[in-house]
Amino acid sequence: MARRRIIAGNWKMNKTPSEAVALCAELKDLVKNDAVDVVYCVPAIDIVPVVEAVKGTNVHVGAENFYIEDKGAFTGEISAPMLKDAGVEYIIIGHSERRDIFGENDILINQKVKKAFASGLKPILCCGESPTLRKAGTYKEWIERQITWDLDGVTADQVKELVIAYEPIWAIGTGETATADQAEEVCALIRELIAKLYDQATADAVRIQYGGSMNAGNAAELLSKANIDGGLIGGASLKPDFGQIVNA
């Protein structure tokens, strides 16, 4: 079954609103590719100007975080309806930086996945092991546990619309990319797990990305693998290289 490729930039805490608009202009012609879903996941304050800046192009906008309530006394948070109203389509959930620096656990991440679907946002659900678990050889069990917890109560029809990003923590921002075979091993494992938890049709539909020091030089090999349907790109999404990844 042919899955549509999805190349998403995770801008993290980079780019002021005016810098964000300038980056959209810089990348505009470089990211043209109608065969690929191109997404910019941007800081909350950049969402409104970026939605405006990419109007009429092939770029979709995502957010990097939200809270599970629609509104109320949650100082500093933004809600799914706010994101929807601003023109956001995708939402990153469970990134290792949110898990490790901001203490998000799988209970909250599971609530966020369900809330995103209920609100009409498409989750990009992240998973990935630490260097310690990679060295210990227990990374497969860890990934299976994360995904199983994070998808508790999520329906097969929802999972068909889900994007899962496998991001080994040892490869994020380190310049140490997983080899294409290492990435493929875990992406295939995730697809098998989805088949076990749901059914083969759901496993065939779910899109799985690799993330972690993906760049213009290694993207084509990673993306050539059978179970890697795209990338979630940090550092290289802030540069013209992102266009080369989109067109790899």
Active-site residue set:
95, 167
Residue 10 near ligand 13P by CB under 6 A: yes
Residue 119 near ligand 13P by CB under 6 A: no
Residue 230 near ligand 13P by CB under 6 A: no
Cα–Cα distance measured from residue 224 to residue 239, given in angstroms and rounded to the nearest whole number = 22
Q: What is the CA radius of gyration of the chain?
A: 17
Nearest distance, CB of residue 206 and ligand 13P, angstroms: 18
Of 17-25, 178-186, 190-198, 228-236, which part binds ligand 13P (CB under 6 A)? 228-236
Of 47-55, 98-106, 167-175, 196-204, which part binds ligand 13P (CB under 6 A)? 167-175
Residue 123 near ligand 13P by CB under 6 A: no
Nearest distance, CB of residue 95 and ligand 13P, angstroms: 6
Residue 232 near ligand 13P by CB under 6 A: yes
First to last CA, the chain: 20
Nearest distance, CB of residue 30 and ligand 13P, angstroms: 17
User: Whose Cβ is closer to ligand 13P: residue 169's or residue 202's?
Assistant: 169
Cα–Cα distance measured from residue 130 to residue 82, given in angstroms and rounded to the nearest whole number = 33
Q: What are phi and psi of 206, to 5 degrees?
A: -65, 140
Of 98-106, 132-140, 183-191, 231-239, which part binds ligand 13P (CB under 6 A)? 231-239
From 172, 186, 203, 208, residue interacting with ligand 13P (rule: CB under 6 A): 172
Residue 233 near ligand 13P by CB under 6 A: yes
Residue 167 near ligand 13P by CB under 6 A: yes
From 120, 173, 217, 240, residue interacting with ligand 13P (rule: CB under 6 A): 173
SS (H, E, C) the chain: CCCCEEEEEECCCCCCHHHHHHHHHHHCCCCCCCCEEEEEEECHHHHHHHHHHCCCCCEEEEECCCECCCCCCCCCCCEHHHHHHHCCCEEEECCHHHHHHCCCCHHHHHHHHHHHHHCCCEEEEEECCCHHHHHHCCHHHHHHHHHHHHCCCCCHHHHHCCEEEECCHHHCCCCCCCCHHHHHHHHHHHHHHHHHHCCHHHHHHCEEEEECCCCCCCHHHHHCCCCCCEEEECHHHHCCHHHHHHCC
Site mask for ligand 13P (CB under 6 A), range 176-215, x = bound: -----------------------------------xxxx-
Nearest distance, CB of residue 244 and ligand 13P, angstroms: 14
Residue 6 near ligand 13P by CB under 6 A: no
Cα–Cα distance measured from residue 155 to residue 172, given in angstroms and rounded to the nearest whole number = 30
Binding site for ligand 13P (CB under 6 A): 10, 95, 167, 172-173, 211-214, 232-236
